[in-house]
Every structure is written in structure tokens, then in C-alpha cells.
Amino acid sequence: MGSTEEPAAAGRAQHRPLVAILSGAGISTDSGIPDYRGPNGLWRRDPDAEKLVTYDVYMADPEIRRRSWRMRRESPALRARPNAAHEAVAALARSGTPVRVITQNVDGLHQLAGLPGRKVLELHGTARTVICTRCRARSPMARALERVAAGDPDPACLECGGILKSATVMFGERLDPQVLGTALGVAKAAEVFVAVGTTLQVQPAASLAGVAAEHGARLIIVNAEPTPYDGLAAEVIREPIGTALPRVLARFG
């Protein structure tokens, strides 16, 4: 009997759960990128800043576009480096544990930390790319910012002359339905769902935590402030993300 039970026991020991991680602005604050809705967030300090990332206003007002390009040049996001939390996520994936990241961030730091792009679902797009609003051609943000630095305050698409914007989801734009659908599937399949650095107030991303819990995932919330989904969580952790997340993920590696 021992010969038949031991392989089964070994199989159980080797099982690694699918870990889904929903990351928000709080995971990147240690990298020097301020959040938007926290006590010191950008939207609270400068409510007018929302106009710079509101699609209809951006498209209609050349001055808003010029201000937006200046904001992109000054943004710390493209100069930021991954921190301990991003590194912990990438390390978990390298350990052989199935990992999928669903991120509300546009900074690309999960990929810079070494997580393969195919394992990252960017719900709100990426600030590292620009897209033409007319022909949909994509090109690196760095190249567009070089044109701004050279004296072009509102660079147009080099393919068709259309208006360029960051390849992020602006206010007034819909999330990519394919990305959102894939994220929903990940939430349903996850055995562990970690919501980190997110207030879980922006829909539909926030609802993924509830979907995961309803489908049997162990929900772990790592965030400085209470969230609407704390009552569904198996664990709620209020400690700093840079130390708490590596400790949490180490259990599954």
C-alpha cells in the first residue's frame, strides 16, 4: 500500500495554488510614484489635474494636451524602479508557483521586476506607450517625450498626423473588454487572491476581489486603509506593503 500512497502524498505536497494579485497604486509608492486617491493623492491636491486625463477634454483642448505632455515629462513613473513588493511577486513566479497579476497601475514596474508580460493584465493600460487616437498606431512613450523635449509641445502621430495620447485608459474611456474578461477568468480560477495597495473602490476592478472570494479563493487584503471588501477577506493586513507582501507571498513559493 505504501507504494500507491506515497506518490499521491508527493503530488499533494507539490501542489501550488494559482495566486492572483490585484495591485493598485499603493504597491508603487515605495518606488516614488504617488497615489491618486489617498490622503495625499494627486486628485485631492489638485482636482483640476483630472482634466489632463479626461478623454473628451484632452481631445478638444490643445492647451490641456500641452499640459498633459508636460505632466508626462515630469512624472516620476517612467524613471521609477521596482521595489521589494514588485520583486517579491516576480520571485514567486520564478519559484514555479502559478502567478497572474491584474494591475490598476500603468507604470510597468511588475514587468521591470522580471515578471513576464504575458502574466500581467494591465486594466488601465500602460504609460510606457503612446497610441494614435485616429489610426491606433503605437510607439514608445520615450520617443514622444524626446519630441516634446526638442520643442514640439503637442506631438502628432508620425503615421497619420492624428492626436497622440498615452496608451492608458482616460476618464471617459472604456476598459479593454478582452483584458477585463481575462481578469475575470483569473479571479474565478484563483485559489489565493491578494489585493494589495488598492482601495477596492474603483469598479469594475474592485469587484474582482468579491468574485474571487465567491468562487472559493482565499482573499488576502494588504492595504493601509479599510476597503469595502474587508469583510470577505480571510486576512486583512495593514502593515507597510514593502515588508508585508514579501512575507505573505513567501508562504506560497
Neighbours of 149 (CB within 10 A): 10
Distance of CA 32 to the CA centre of its chain: 15
Query: CATH number of the domain that 191 lies in?
Result: 3.40.50.1220
Residues 4 and 42 placed together within one structural domain of the fold: no
Examine the residue annotation and report whether 86 is marked as an active-site residue of this protein: no
Catalytic residue, chosen from 15, 86, 110, 124, is 124
Residues 239 and 118 placed together within one structural domain of the fold: yes
Chain segment 154-178, per-residue pLDDT in tens: 999 999 999 999 999 999 999 999 9
Residues 231 and 241 placed together within one structural domain of the fold: yes
Query: CATH number of the domain that 53 lies in?
Result: 3.30.1600.10
Q: β-strands 99-103, 120-122: how paired? A: parallel
| Cα angle: 115, vertex 192, 39; to 5 degrees | 75
Residues 146 and 178 placed together within one structural domain of the fold: no
Residues 64 and 99 placed together within one structural domain of the fold: no
Q: β-strands 125-132, 164-168: how paired? A: antiparallel
Cis peptide before 82 (omega within 30 of 0): no
Chain segment 50-83, per-residue pLDDT in tens: 889 999 999 999 999 999 999 999 888 889 999 9
Contact 72, 145 (CB under 8 A): yes
pTM to 2 decimal places: 0.88
Residues 249 and 163 placed together within one structural domain of the fold: no
Tens of each residue's pLDDT in the chain, 253 residues: 444 444 444 444 567 899 999 999 999 999 998 866 554 555 555 667 788 999 999 999 999 999 999 999 988 888 999 999 999 999 999 999 999 999 999 999 999 999 999 999 999 999 999 999 999 999 999 999 999 999 999 999 999 999 999 999 999 999 999 999 999 999 999 999 999 999 999 899 999 999 999 999 999 999 999 999 999 999 999 999 999 999 999 999 8
Residues 20 and 102 placed together within one structural domain of the fold: yes
The C-alpha cell at 190 is: 484563483
Question: Which of 76, 114, 73, 88 shows the shortest CA–CA distance to 23?
Answer: 88
What is the rounded CA–CA span in Å between residue 33 and residue 103?
Answer: 15
The C-alpha cell at 22 is: 490585484
Within 31-176, where are the H helices? 42-45, 55-60, 62-74, 84-94, 109-112, 141-149
| Domain count of the fold of the chain | 2
Domain end marker among 114, 148, 168: 168
15: left (phi over 0), alpha (psi -120 to 50) or beta: beta
Residues 207 and 239 placed together within one structural domain of the fold: yes
Domain range enclosing 18: 1-33+82-124+174-253
Phi then psi for 194, rounded to 5 degrees? Answer: -110, 115
Residues 132 and 247 placed together within one structural domain of the fold: no
Phi then psi for 191, rounded to 5 degrees? Answer: -95, -30
The C-alpha cell at 42 is: 494627486
Beta strands per DSSP E along 142-189 = 164-168
